[in-house]
Amino acid sequence: MSIFGFGKKKDTVVQPTQSATESRYKILGTGCSNCEALERNVKQVLQELEIEEGVQKVSELSQIASYGVMSAPAFVVDDKVVSVGKVLSHSEIKKIVQDS
C-alpha cells in the first residue's frame, strides 16, 4: 500500500538523447565567415541532391576538440572528419556526400 504516492513506481517518459537527433552532416566552427560559407555550401549541395537532412552546427570548443579538430571550419559526415581548415567547393562537397 502506498501512502501519498510513496513507494509507487513513477511513470517515466524517455526523451530521445542528443545523439538520436543529430544530423549526419556537421560543421565544426565558432561562427567565423569561413564556417558560415562552408555551411551555406553544404546546404546548397544537399538541396541540389534532394537530401532532406539538415546540417548541424557545432560551435562549442570542447565538442570541436573531441573530434581532434584544431582549425575551423571542419566538415563531418557520419561522425568522421572529412575536411579541416578550408571552405570546400560545391564539387568537393558533392563528391564527399555522394561517396558517403
Query: Any catalytic annotation for residue 35?
Result: yes
- Residue 61: which residues within 8 A CB-CB, separation 6 or more? 30
Which candidate in 32, 51, 65, 70 is catalytic?
Answer: 32
Whether 39 contacts 89, CB under 8 Å: no
* Active-site residue, 55 included: no
Q: Which of 35, 64, 74, 77 is catalytic?
A: 35
Neighbours of 12 (CB within 10 A): 6
Residues annotated as catalytic (active site), given as ranges: 32, 35
